[in-house]
């Protein structure tokens, strides 16, 4: 169905080991407004959408998985050389005790990922407005992560991801207008 190219959508470089920053980035891995929730939301919602916008949710949903991979790469690179003591000081002691340095779907506070993060109403307009809100929340979170980071390499990748959220929100807004026009047309049978 897709062709997998063994490279990230955007290069991820890390200046130094920084488990504290990794703890914050985990929010976009397994948090309510993170990349996993977005990918699952869009790929699930597309089944109740008209064909006119179904492809859009497929495209953006699969791109969100690429973003998830970028976040995972950042977290891995920021923690791979960290000692258990550094992880503990960064607030990742409980994570380390449960998972070592393996990634796990939870937010920055350590709350495990849950399907309650994903919304699907079955009404195309309601779902698309939910998607716009999700993209705007992710954009805001990326900005806050950039504000907390002093790693120019990480910030470069985070800025790329933030801008993709802006593009996705714009595309969903366009889809709302397409659906409003479609719903307002007379149907002939």
Query: 126-165: per-residue pLDDT in tens?
Result: 999 999 999 999 999 999 999 999 999 999 999 999 999 9
Cβ-in-10-Å burial (0-12, 13-18, 19+) of 146 comes to middle
User: For residues 35, 37, 41 and 42, what is the CA-based torsion angle, rounded to 10 degrees?
Assistant: 0
Active site residue 165: yes
The C-alpha atoms of residue 89 and residue 26 are separated, in whole angstroms, by: 16
Whether the per-residue pLDDT at 101 is higher than 80: the answer is: yes
Q: Is 63 annotated as ligand-binding?
A: no
The C-alpha atoms of residue 65 and residue 47 are separated, in whole angstroms, by: 18
Beta-carbon contacts of residue 80 (< 8 Å; ≥ 6 apart): 17, 101
Whether the per-residue pLDDT at 183 is higher than 80: the answer is: no
Active site residue 64: yes
The C-alpha atoms of residue 26 and residue 55 are separated, in whole angstroms, by: 29
Active site residue 63: no
Q: Is 106 annotated as ligand-binding?
A: no
Active site residue 35: yes
Phi, psi of 150 (to 5 degrees): -115, 15
Closest to 131 (Cα-Cα) out of 24, 183, 56, 71: 56
How many helices (H) and strands (E) would you count in the chain?
8, 0
The single residue of 27, 63, 67, 106 carrying the catalytic annotation is 67
Quick one: pLDDT at residue 185?
A: 72
Active site residue 135: yes
Q: Is 67 annotated as ligand-binding?
A: yes
The single residue of 35, 63, 95, 130 carrying the catalytic annotation is 35
Closest to 89 (Cα-Cα) out of 14, 19, 16, 17: 19
Q: Is 168 annotated as ligand-binding?
A: yes
The C-alpha atoms of residue 147 and residue 154 are separated, in whole angstroms, by: 11
Query: For residue range 29-57, what is the model confidence (pLDDT) as tens digits?
Result: 999 999 999 999 999 999 988 888 999 99
Give the pLDDT band of residue 1 (cuts 50, 70, 90).
Answer: low
Q: Is 147 annotated as ligand-binding?
A: no
CA distances from residue 120 to 24, 48, 150, 177 in whole angstroms, order as listed: 27, 9, 37, 19
CA distances from residue 42 to 101, 133, 176, 186 in whole angstroms, order as listed: 29, 13, 14, 28
């Amino acid at each position: 169905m897709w062709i997998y190219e063994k490279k990230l959508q955007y290069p991820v470089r890390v200046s130094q080991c920084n488990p504290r920053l990794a703890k914050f980035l985990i929010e976009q891995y397994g948090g309510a407004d993170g990349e996993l929730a977005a990918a699952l939301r869009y790929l699930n919602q597309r089944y109740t959408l008209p064909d006119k916008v179904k492809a859009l949710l497929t495209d953006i949903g699969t791109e969100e998985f690429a973003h998830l991979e970028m976040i995972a790469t950042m977290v891995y690179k920021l923690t791979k050389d960290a000692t258990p003591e550094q992880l503990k000081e960064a607030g990742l002691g409980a994570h380390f005790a449960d998972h070592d340095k393996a990634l796990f779907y939870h937010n920055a506070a350590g709350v495990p990922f849950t399907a309650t993060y994903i919304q699907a109403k079955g009404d195309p307009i309601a779902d698309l407005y939910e998607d716009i809100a999700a993209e705007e929340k992710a954009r805001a979170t990326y900005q806050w992560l950039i504000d907390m980071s002093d790693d120019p390499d990480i910030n470069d990748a985070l800025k790329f991801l933030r801008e993709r959220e802006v593009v996705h929100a714009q595309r969903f807004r366009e889809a709302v207008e397409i659906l409003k026009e479609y719903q307002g047309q007379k149907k002939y049978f």
